[in-house]
Structure formats: structure tokens, C-alpha cells
Amino acid sequence: MCGFLTYISACGDAARHVGALTSALETIDHRGPDQTGVHAAGDEAVLGFKRLSIIDVEHSDQPLSYAGRYTITFNGEIYNYLELREELIAEHGAEFATSGDTEVVAAAYHHWGPQAVHRLRGMFAFVIWDHVEKLAFGARDRFGIKPLCYLAGESGAWFASEQKALRPFTKPVPDPVALSHYLTYQYVPEPMTLLAGIRQLGAGRCFTYSTEGELTIHRYWRPEFAVAPVAGDDPERRILDALSDSVAKHMRADVPVGSFLSSGIDSTAVAALAARHNPGLLTFTAALDVPGYSELDVAAASAEALGVRNHAVVVDAQMMMDALPRIVWHLDDPVADPALIPLYYVAREASAHVKVVLSGEGADELFAGYGIYREPRSLRPVTGLPPRVRRGLRSVAHALPEGVRGRSFLDRGTTSLTERYFGNARMFTEAEKRGLLTSYDPSVRYTDVTGPLFAEAAELGEVEQMQYIDLGTWLPGDILRKADRMSMANSLEVRVPFLDPEVFAVAAGLPSDLKLPPRSVQTKAVLRRALASVVPPAIVERKKLGFPTPIRVWLKDEMYEWAAGILRESGASELVDLSHGIRLLDAHRRGEADHSRKVWTLLVFALWYDITISGTRDPAPESARSTPIAPASRIAAVGRPATI
């Protein structure tokens, strides 16, 4: 929901920036095409807003003023806003001119101050300008569902929902440290961006900015797992109750709400619980046009079992190539996750029918759903050996040629968790980056990102440490950026009921043996048991697929010339040796090794550079080639209102 651009002046020049802000605001029109607003607060502040109307559709336009003192720009949804509204009225006699959640956020800040962020249950990024104190206060939700980036200089500070709205006010220069981390992680870890000078406000953080030019950032929340977790009474019931309540609150809207539906348990459970509140629920699925990569059959069977109507879109290689430049533009920072493209198309399909969809992001991080979380147990035959023996085995591992069976197992087993765990993706090693980057800095290491997080989680068990790392890196850097940018590219709001404080509180108290049973290959076992009464039986035990895309297949054939052309022609070669990327592509085509993810990482960066830095590529809209599938309907279709 929505996008904002706000400027707070430290030199009394805000008034002269109204025109520039209004123009820059148009770069994020896709986030909120329903209403545009700009509010100038003298020479001190200018606040701009693009609204996607979801709650209190006819009112609650922004920037919104409250109590004659505050002006707010707010992106997101507060799912307990009705309860907070009643509390504010009962305790403080608060008065409201609207029935939406934006005014509730402003009122909460007025009466509770910065501590109000602890009471907000939802996804949010906002900036509040206090006309009396001459102070801006802003915050981002606990998990980083909604984005907030900023550009601070001597004359003042800009705050925006997307970087592209800030670019007119700075010279775009790549940050070499962020680039090094991108090549490791396949995304740029927060709070960095790939542009020097522009930063992201981290998840669970708030800030103040005064007209004296002082920016202060405070971390108000961090994930807290139980150090010595116990199962407690009926954990399955507690999980189901918390998730059911979260889904119910996430259904609050004054416009149609649908749900994404894949073949996995997470989205299926969310759709099933949502259908209890809306029997006419519409669901949406992306399918890939390669055998073995499509989730359509399973999703369609689940939709039939749940009694909901499913809309699907089939994505082929040409559609991937058509959409990628535009997707990279929407991302701001490159994210080399091919799942972005089917997500983009399914969001486009959903936006033709609804304005809001629910999705299953966050379940894997909360309930240990990734297979790699089993690694501490699988490596125990090596990690449990005396240090002297482990050192010997490490020497043996390094003496073995790459690709020899057992080498990786010994190498990882003799490496500490803090050194070996990057998260869910690892693209290029330090040795590879040394030959890939035209200016390699050996002092920049991947542990610069993960090290502080491991220090915070030092008292936790190894599985919970891995979850903690992913909550601080992979989740906001890849998963949630994907969800926000691809949905907002289509003026669609995505809500994620698993990423709810009450659901997290239950998950954080579970022992690892409940999430990952000792003698089982199953992940998030306790969640599967909790949802057994909700989802079709075939889904409960279904192995996680992780939304695979067939770039491995397509880069050998349909995509080869396209990919080679981008790598040959891109100006990004001044920072990265793209000829190495062509060599990887050719080796991949010959079947010597699967280099598809590494090639994709370089392709996305090359496109980002040409769009953002050199301006040599225009990210023109892709051709409309989606192939909708119309399964037999069990209910009447829900149409999108003609007037919002």
C-alpha cells in the first residue's frame, strides 16, 4: 500500500524543493495510483504521497494531518488499528476525523510517543512531521516488510519508499562494498544499498531527524528466541490459534482480498484460513512452461479441495526475458533471485481481480523450513570430533580436488558455523570475487554482514542462530523485497500473516527438535502437524520446492543469445569482469557444470548498471504475453471495483 517521499530541511530551504519533490514522486506512482498528495510545511518540510486505497477508501488521503500538530506519510497496514483506536479513545479521549489506520498511527504517536511502535501490529514504514517540535519521527516494522530508505546531507534529509525517488537528488555512484556483498549473497544486505549515500532503515528500527540536521537511529525490536525453549502444552494448537487470528486480522480491508497459492503448505494454509472468512476467495498461481517446474496441478487440486477459485498464469522463457529489465528497475537494488519473474506475473494477474493478496512468506524463517537448517545435525559426526582430529580432516578436505564426493562435507564440518553459514544463497566465493571484481578489496568479507548477528545470537542453539541470521539478512534482503517490489509494481498489496508478532512469539519458543525431528528429513514438522486439519492431506507432507525456475534449462537454449548479448554489451564491465560471465555461460551451455545462478547474478547486475548508472538501457514495459488458465469455477468471480 502506497509510497512516500519526504524532505526535512536542515537549512530552511524546503519550500524551493516542492516542485522537485512532486516530480520525483511520480517515479513511484505504481505504488499508489489512486491519490497523490503533497504538503509543504513552510521552509522546514515537504511531504509527498502516492496512495493505494485499501482501508477507509473515500477518506484517509495523505499526507494526513492530526491534532493540528502532525503530518504523516504512512505506507503499510496496521491490523490492530480498530483495537488501538478504541484504546486511544477510552484512555485519552482521542478524536478521529477518519475511520482508517493512518490517523490511528498519528494519534498513537501523539499520545504514546516513540513507544507507540511497540503497539503496532502490522507492516509499516512512516514519517511523522511534528510542526511544534520541528522534528521528524519515522519507523519501519519489525521484520522489514515495508521499505524505507533515506539520503542525508548537509542541507537536509530525504526519506522514501523506493530509492528511485531519491536518485534525482544525488549522483548515482556504485558502492564497492555493497557490490562485493551482492556477489556473495545475491542481494544487497541492509542497511546498505548499491548506491553510495543512500541507505535503508533496518527492520525494527525507528529514527528522529531534527532541523539541526541530526539523524538518530534506534533499534526498537529484534527477534528473541528462547535460549532454553520448551515445548509447553499443545504447541500445535497455539500455532494454529495464533495463525488463525493473524489471518483474520490480515483480512481487514474495504476492497477485495485474494491469496497467492503455490504447491506448498504455507500459502495453502493461509488461503484455507482466509477462505473461512471469505468463501468467495480468489487464489492466484504462477506456472512455469517447463516439465517438472510447474506447481499448477497441485495448486489447482488444493484450490478445488478448499472450494476456492484459482487463476493461474503460465510463464515461459520469452516472458522472463521481456520482463527482467523492468523488474530490475522496480527492484532498485539488484536481487538475483529468478523467482522474481513468476512472482511479477502472478501479481499482475492478481491485480486484475483484487487489490490485496495474502501470501506465505516468513513461515520458513520462523518454523525452520529450509533444508539447510538440518546441517548442524548432519555434520555432527565431524563437528563432534576433538579439535586436533578436525584440523587433520580439514587438511584432507583441502587436499581433495573440487567436486570429489565428501570434500564439501569435510570442509563444512571442519568450519565453524559463524564462518560457513551465509544464509540461503551463496553465489561467488572470495577467491572467485578476487578474479571477478576489477577492484577487489580483501578487507571486505561476508562475515562483516553475518558476524554482528551471530554475536547477538551467541547464546542460542545452532538452528536458532541460523534462523536469526536469515531473519536479519535473507528475509528482508531477498524474500520481502521480492514480495514488496513485485506486488507494488502492479499496484497490488501483499500481506504476510506469518510475519506477525503473535505468530513469531509462538514460533520463537519452540525447541528445535519440534521443528526438525531428530530422525526425520522433514522440516517445520510442528507447523505441518498444526496445519493438518486445515490443508489437504497431500500438502502436509509435501517437500518444499522453493519456487524453482528453469533458468538452468533456458540459459542453454532459449536464453543463451540474450544473456550473452547483455554480458557483452553492458558497461558494468568497468566494475566486474563480464567476460568471465560469458565463459561461465558457455561452460554451462556445454554441460560442464551448472553455472546458471552465477550467470543470472551477473546478468541482473549488468542490467542494473545499464539502467541505473550509465542510463544506456531503457526498462521499457514488457510485452503482455501471459497465458491465463481458466480452471472450472466453483464460485462466482470477484471483480475489481471500477472506482476506488
Beta strands of 308-425 (E only): which ranges? 309-315, 356-358
Return all residues near 567 (Cβ < 8 A) that are at least 6 apart.
578, 579, 581, 582, 585, 602, 603, 606
Q: How far apart are CA 526 and CA 515, in angstroms?
A: 5
Q: Which of 566, 552, 621, 626 is nearest to 323 (CA)?
A: 621
What are the b/e assignments for 604-633, b being 16+ CB within 10 Å? bbbbbbbbbbeeebebeebeeebeeeeeee
Return all residues near 370 (Cβ < 8 A) that are at least 6 apart.
364, 424, 470, 523, 544
SS3 call for 174 = strand
State residue 547's pLDDT score.
Answer: 58
Enumerate the domain spans of the chain. Answer: 3-219, 235-324+337-369+473-548, 376-461, 551-613
State residue 25's pLDDT score.
Answer: 97
Determine contact, residues 126/139, Cβ cutoff 8 Å.
yes
State residue 28's pLDDT score.
Answer: 97
Total number of residues shown for the chain: 644
Whether 235-324+337-369+473-548 and 3-219 are alike in CATH topology: the answer is no
pTM of the model: 0.93
Q: Which of 418, 497, 494, 481 is nearest to 244 (CA)?
A: 497
User: Which set of grid coordinates corresponds to residue 276?
Assistant: 473461512
Catalytic residue among 2, 11, 149, 206: 2
Pairing, β 45-51 against β 64-66: unpaired
Beta strands of 316-390 (E only): which ranges? 356-358
Beta strands of 332-431 (E only): which ranges? 356-358
State residue 628's pLDDT score.
Answer: 34
State residue 539's pLDDT score.
Answer: 86
Q: How far apart are CA 563 and CA 552, in angstroms?
A: 12
State residue 630's pLDDT score.
Answer: 31
Low-confidence residues of the chain: pLDDT under 50: 621-644
| Residue 11: active-site member | no
Instruction: Decide yes or no: CATH 3.40.50.300 for domain 235-324+337-369+473-548.
Output: no
Phi, psi torsion values for 90, nearest 5 degrees? -70, -40
Counting Cα atoms < 13 Å in the Cβ hemisphere of 387 gives 1
Determine contact, residues 261/267, Cβ cutoff 8 Å.
yes
251-305 tens-digit pLDDT: 999 999 999 998 889 999 999 999 999 999 999 999 888 877 777 888 888 999 9
Determine contact, residues 348/490, Cβ cutoff 8 Å.
yes
State residue 624's pLDDT score.
Answer: 32
CATH fold for domain 3-219: Glutamine Phosphoribosylpyrophosphate, subunit 1, domain 1 (3.60.20)
